């Protein structure tokens, strides 16, 4: 296998990859092609990939070190895997709000690779992805300059499904970070975990963050992925936020996520 096909879904974010079977041992050339497409398009989608957990972990391992989630319980036999599951008994689901995975860590994950094995029979359960390059670039230069000097506190709140610790894990990150591989600027606050912009009053911080959260919701920065059984989304957590819709209750939706470690934000 020497070539994959990369089909962009929007000019700003998202591409589908075809011509590849992820169960096979991938050549270094193909891994580099996927990495280049991933850095260019921020989130990649693959279909019809009937992987075992071991194959899923092995594929992810070609792009970095698996990350063990600090506060969410993992698959009983595979600490690298988070189980994403919702059914008729669910009171909440993972990720149904805009967020960046685990941004309350000093070095938030670089990538998340989610494989869906059960999808609701009548549709629904799509995941939305928002480009934080596009969100940053759409701000006025004056507001960009104001935000570039700011740092924000990210902290785990009382989220269902997360182990609560006496001192919730937290980290400070620049409000505008620089992607370590592409060098592009990224708007880096999310309503899942960002608590406060340092140096502003509570009211000022709240107004700035609310404005940015509304801005991030602009559909012009988004791609929406409709899952099918054995499809995979691989997103760059350093420049993408995502939102798992929950419009399919009481149907069942199930998937498995492998996440990769990152480096400190800058």
Catalytic residues: 99, 101, 242, 257
Binding residue for ligand SIN, selected from 84, 135, 216, 240, defined by CB under 6 A: 84
Which CB atom, from 72 or from 200, has the smaller least distance to ligand SIN? Answer: 72
Q: Compute the least distance from the CB of residue 59 to ligand SIN, in Å.
A: 17
In the bound state with ligand SIN, the residue whose beta carbon lies nearer, of 127 and 265, is 127
User: C-beta of 203: minimal distance to ligand SIN in Å?
Assistant: 30
The smaller minimum CB distance to ligand SIN, of residues 95 and 174, is found at 95
Instruction: Give 45's strand partners.
Output: 16, 233
34 vs 239: CA distance, rounded Å: 17
CB of 84 to ligand SIN, least distance (A): 5
CB nearer to ligand SIN: give 81 or 208: 81
- Nearer CB in complex with ligand SIN: 93/176: 93
Residue 56 exposed, middle or buried by CB count within 10 Å (0-12, 13-18, 19+): buried
Of the residues 15, 44, 95, 105, which one makes contact with ligand SIN according to CB under 6 A: 95
* Alpha carbons 140 and 164: distance in angstroms, whole number: 39
The answer to whether residue 257 forms part of the interface with ligand SIN (CB under 6 A) is yes
Query: Residue 221 carries which DSSP code?
Result: G
With left for phi above 0 and alpha for psi between -120 and 50, is residue 146 left, alpha or beta?
alpha
Assigned token pair, 179:
């992607």
At closest approach, how far in Å is the CB of 240 from ligand SIN? 11
Beta-strand relationship, 43-46 and 15-18: parallel
Taking CB under 6 A as the criterion, which residues in 124-153 touch ligand SIN?
127
Residue of minimal CB distance from ligand SIN?
Answer: 95
CA distance 244 to 82: 15
Separation between Cα atoms, residue 245 and residue 230, nearest integer Å: 18
Pairwise CA distance, residues 237 & 113, whole Å: 10
* Contact residue for ligand SIN among 244, 256, 258, 260 (CB under 6 A): 244
| Shortest distance (Å) from residue 226 CB to ligand SIN | 11
* Count of chain residues binding ligand SIN (CB under 6 A): 9
161's CB contacts (< 8 A; 6+ apart) are 72, 92, 94
Q: How many residues does the chain have?
A: 266
Check residue 108 for interaction with ligand SIN (CB under 6 A). Answer: no
Applying CB under 6 A, the residues found at the interface with ligand SIN are: 84, 94-95, 112, 114, 127, 242, 244, 257
């Amino acid at each position: 296998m020497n070539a994959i096909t990369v089909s962009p879904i929007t000019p700003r974010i998202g591409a589908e990859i075809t011509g590849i079977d992820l169960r096979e041992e991938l050549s270094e050339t193909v891994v580099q092609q996927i990495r280049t497409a991933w850095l260019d398009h921020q989130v990649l989608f693959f279909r019809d990939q009937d992987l075992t957990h071991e194959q899923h972990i092995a594929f992810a391992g070609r792009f970095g070190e698996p990350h063990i989630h600090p506060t969410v319980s993992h698959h009983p036999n595979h600490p690298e895997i988070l189980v994403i599951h919702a059914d008729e008994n669910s009171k909440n689901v993972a990720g149904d709000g805009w967020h960046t995975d685990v941004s309350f860590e000093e070095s938030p994950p670089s990538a998340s690779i989610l494989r869906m094995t059960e999808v609701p029979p009548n549709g629904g359960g799509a995941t939305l992805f928002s480009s934080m390059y596009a969100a940053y670039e759409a701000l006025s230069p004056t507001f960009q300059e104001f935000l570039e000097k700011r740092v924000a506190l990210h902290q785990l709140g009382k989220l269902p499904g997360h182990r609560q610790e006496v001192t919730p894990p937290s980290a400070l990150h620049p409000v505008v970070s620089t992607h370590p591989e592409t060098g592009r600027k990224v708007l880096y606050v999310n309503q899942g975990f960002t608590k406060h912009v340092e140096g502003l009053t509570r009211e000022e911080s709240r107004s700035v963050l609310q404005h940015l959260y509304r801005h991030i919701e602009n559909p012009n920065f988004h791609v929406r992925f409709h899952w099918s059984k054995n499809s995979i989304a691989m997103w760059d957590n350093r420049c993408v936020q995502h939102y798992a819709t929950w419009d399919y209750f009481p149907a069942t939706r199930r998937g498995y996520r492998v996440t990769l470690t990152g480096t400190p934000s800058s």
